[in-house]
Amino acid sequence: MKLWRKMLLSLTVSASLLTAASVPAAMAAPQPATVKVNMQKVNYGTDAPVISEKTTLVPLRSTLKALDAELTGTTPDSITVVVNGKSITLQSKLTEINGVAYVPVRIIGDAAGYSVRWDAQTRTVQLVSTSPGLGGTEAPVAEASQTGRGFMWEVQSNGNTVYLVGSMHLADKSFYPLRKEYEEAFAKADHLGVEVDISKAAGEEQQKLIMQLGMYQDGSTLKDHISSETYTKLGDILEKNKMKRDALDPFKPWVAEVMISTLKPMEAGYEASAGIDLHFIQKAMERKIPVIELESYESQLNMFNNFSKQLQEKNLNTALDNYDEMGTAMDQMAEMWKTGNDQALLEFTNTMSDDAEYNQAMLTDRNIDMANKIDGYLKNGNKEEYFIVVGAGHYLGDQGIVQLLKNKGYDVVRK
């Protein structure tokens, strides 16, 4: 049960918070960037992408081939390529690394008709084709069979409709295609609502915030704030992952906990870049509809930072003690989501209740705030449709969003 509670991070906390793990991970063991075109990883061989001054540089010829574009000419300050039969000149200087020409990925991605996203947690650049016929390689066509029921409810009032969707913040390609009811409801939506717009999570402001809140500012280190037993267990797992035992010394226990909790799921192939919320954020950007944040990056970070010293160490110990089983637990949660198993979701959610402080902050307070905002959307009289995607763990139980809306008099229908 305690293990399930740790995995509930992927059901209750926005993936923007999970990107907090990317900061200590990057400091502890920097990794090269990965590039994916429509969810398919580009194989660069020994010529890996590099990050220079916050810009991802990629081998020019290999990337153009992956985008089905052709290089026709270069000058010191420009590149000419043919995309879908059309010649385009791009203003960009080439950078030579070990005899290979590199170029900023965003420049050629944009020119080839792709949206370009950066996932800080997995250090992955996602290029997704935005229009048919551009880029040569279109997004994979949905299969005839649909992979998961998931969790969705519908609420109608005062001419407004709100769809409530339960997200898995970490997922993989096996979650897709979503069943048609999701896509049909989203196609009619005037607004997308999410916990936090995670497309902005890698921004400089957000990264500064995690450094300010997640690191000790008084000269002390993690070793000074947790027991020697906990510190030793943490060091053992860091060494397992080819990091130094003291790699997380600058960080508070809650940051170490989030990082440890994401290592095994990521190893098993679960990524924030495949999460249900990011899937719809990207679609909202393509449709150019507003993305509404029900919370904020700062509020989620502050929630963890405000946990008592005792709870922070307790949570870290739970993550450490169950580290080897987290991949399996994530598989179980993925199966729960795909089958839309309400009873299993409620059981997962109820594991929060073994600690009053944790349950109050992670679920109760946040659920009340989000339900109140949804209540406002239903009452505003604008005759609009809202597609709300928040962690699935927020919906069920006596203090879940579904029950809170029922308490306000709404008829909430499972779809």
User: Which pLDDT score, from 0 to 100, does residue 121 have?
Assistant: 58
Query: Is the confidence at residue 395, as pLDDT, over 90?
Result: yes
Task: Give tens-digit pLDDT for 132-184.
Answer: 433 333 333 333 345 679 999 999 999 999 999 999 988 888 898 899 999 99
Higher pLDDT, 250 or 85: 250
170 with 210, same domain: the answer is yes
User: Which pLDDT score, from 0 to 100, does residue 233 have?
Assistant: 97
Q: Is residue 140 part of a domain?
A: no
CA–centroid distance for 273 within its chain: 6
Q: Is residue 312 part of a domain?
A: yes
Q: List b or e across 146-176, with b for residues whose CB sees 16 or more CB atoms inside 10 angstroms.
A: bbbbbbbbbbebeebbbbbbbbbbbbbeebb
The residue range of the domain holding 49 is 40-129
Q: Is residue 35 part of a domain?
A: no
79 with 15, same domain: the answer is no
13 with 45, same domain: the answer is no
116 with 181, same domain: the answer is no
Which helix H or strand E contains 75, and what residues bound it? strand 69-75
Q: Between helices 326-339 and 253-267, what is the axis angle to 10°?
A: 70
Coarse DSSP helix, strand, coil percentages of the chain, rounded to the nearest 5 percent: 45, 20, 30
* Most confident segment among 56-60, 99-103, 207-211, 378-382: 378-382
Query: Is the confidence at residue 383, as pLDDT, over 90?
Result: yes
Task: Give tens-digit pLDDT for 332-360.
Answer: 889 999 999 999 999 888 887 778 999 99
Contact (Cβ atoms closer than 8 angstroms) between residue 72 and residue 128: no
**Number of structural domains found in the chain:** 2
22 with 44, same domain: the answer is no
Of 177, 175, 186, 176, residue with least CA distance to 152: 186
298 with 346, same domain: the answer is yes
Query: Is the confidence at residue 251, as pLDDT, over 60?
Result: yes
**Segment 382-397 mean pLDDT:** 95
Q: Is residue 136 part of a domain?
A: no
159 with 103, same domain: the answer is no
61 with 202, same domain: the answer is no
286 with 232, same domain: the answer is yes
Range from 105-109, 187-191, 255-259, 285-289 carrying the lowest mean pLDDT: 105-109
Higher pLDDT, 302 or 23: 302
Q: Is the peptide bond before 76 cis (omega within 30 degrees of 0)?
A: no
92 with 168, same domain: the answer is no
Higher pLDDT, 137 or 310: 310
* Most confident segment among 13-17, 43-47, 311-315: 311-315
83 with 153, same domain: the answer is no
Q: Is residue 135 part of a domain?
A: no
176 with 96, same domain: the answer is no
Contact (Cβ atoms closer than 8 angstroms) between residue 2 and residue 322: yes
